[in-house]
């Protein structure tokens, strides 16, 4: 119930205004977000990669319904990728992209062409793009766009959300050679007809999906902070005789940083999802909804400032 309430609040204009104007918000938000500028993103990326971690950068600004705003988001990605290329960070840092940020509201073809521009910039920077999955109503369209992009940019990553009932089916379709697939639990509200809502059922789905991906021929990117799921992933890597460079763990910036470094120190590939930008509200609220520990941290911060 709490998770659903937070997800509803992520779409609330009134809740957004309260959060954005509250004096305590800035310090708490910086726990999960690198900052507002490309310089902030570059600083955090340099720090993480110097510690042996990989990075996926997300320029915040989803769900735009303005073409000029969509164009600005495209340009922000191109500028970021040029910065990564100039710093020779392409082998350590990629970008994550939400199609809603680059104009999917104006049609899938519009978003596809903008995504092509970003993928071309990524190729010039010697890196790649992973298309984030969003609301359940866009899953089929987004996977279709992944397939279209892969015709020219075969290393484009797809995302599967384990809380959706068709997740295992999508994993089976995507577990082919050369296919990069991020598996996450999912952080959007969805009806029970298409999604699991019980945490245990979501975890079971995540394990079923991991089994499919780790036994397949693609490159699994396992996005979880759950110690049990991380242990199962390690066991599956042994069972399927996977070398450390044939899959990776992914975690969010600001969540379990010690575990990120521990896994990397033991030879695992660990990628940190780093978001930055001024439009942080929806992203931040979904982070609170994902894990009770995040909400506890937030509430402690409020009490400390009262």
Active site residue 182: yes
Local structure of 99: helix, strand or coil: helix
Encoding tokens for residue 154?
């075969």
Our CA dihedral for 178, 58, 97, 12, rounded to 10 degrees, sits at 140
Active site residue 16: no
Alpha helices by DSSP H, the chain: 2-9, 13-21, 25-29, 38-50, 67-86, 108-124, 139-152, 167-174, 199-215, 227-239, 257-265, 281-290, 292-305
C-alpha pair distances (Å), 68 with each of 74, 80, 134, 231: 10, 18, 21, 45
Q: Which of 58, 132, 155, 203 is catalytic?
A: 132
Q: Which of 3, 83, 182, 286 is catalytic?
A: 182
Q: Could you tell me if 101 and 70 are in contact, meaning their C-beta atoms sit under 8 angstroms apart?
A: yes
Among 160, 211, 201, which residue's Cα sits nearest to residue 183?
160
Tell me how far apart the alpha carbons of residues 230 and 233 are, in angstroms, rounded to a whole number. 5
The maximal CA–CA distance of the chain, rounded, in angstroms, is: 55
| Number of C-beta neighbours around residue 106 at 10 A | 15
Local structure of 35: helix, strand or coil: coil
Encoding tokens for residue 99?
């199609």
Our CA dihedral for 178, 183, 187, 188, rounded to 10 degrees, sits at 60
Catalytic residues: 132, 182
């Amino acid at each position: 119930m709490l998770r659903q309430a937070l997800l509803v609040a992520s779409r609330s204009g009134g809740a957004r205004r309260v959060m954005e104007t509250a004096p305590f918000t800035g310090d708490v938000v910086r726990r999960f977000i690198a900052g507002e500028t490309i310089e902030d993103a570059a600083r955090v990326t340099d720090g993480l990669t110097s510690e042996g971690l990989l990075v996926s950068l997300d320029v915040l600004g989803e769900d735009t319904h303005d073409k000029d705003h969509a164009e600005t988001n495209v340009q922000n990605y191109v500028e970021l990728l040029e910065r990564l290329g100039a710093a020779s960070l392409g082998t350590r840092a990629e970008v994550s992209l939400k199609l809603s940020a680059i104009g999917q509201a104006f049609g899938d073809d519009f978003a596809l062409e903008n995504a092509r521009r970003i993928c071309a910039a990524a190729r010039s920077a010697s890196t790649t793009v992973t298309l984030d999955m969003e609301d359940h109503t866009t899953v089929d369209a987004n996977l279709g766009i992944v397939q279209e992009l892969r015709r020219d940019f075969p290393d484009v990553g797809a995302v599967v959300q384990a809380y959706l009932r068709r997740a295992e089916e999508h994993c089976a379709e995507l577990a082919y050679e050369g296919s990069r697939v991020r598996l996450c639990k999912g952080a959007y509200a969805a009806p029970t007809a298409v999604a699991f809502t019980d945490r245990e059922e979501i975890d079971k789905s995540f394990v079923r999906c991991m089994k499919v991906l780790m036994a397949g021929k693609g490159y699994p990117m396992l996005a979880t902070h759950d110690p049990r799921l991380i242990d199962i992933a390690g066991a599956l890597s042994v069972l399927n005789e996977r070398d450390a460079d044939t899959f990776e763990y992914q975690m969010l910036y600001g969540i379990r940083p010690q575990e990120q470094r521990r896994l990397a120190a033991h030879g695992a590939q660990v990628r940190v999802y780093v978001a930055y930008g001024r439009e942080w509200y929806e992203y931040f609220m979904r982070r609170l909804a994902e894990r009770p520990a995040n909400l506890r941290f937030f509430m402690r911060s409020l009490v400390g400032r009262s």
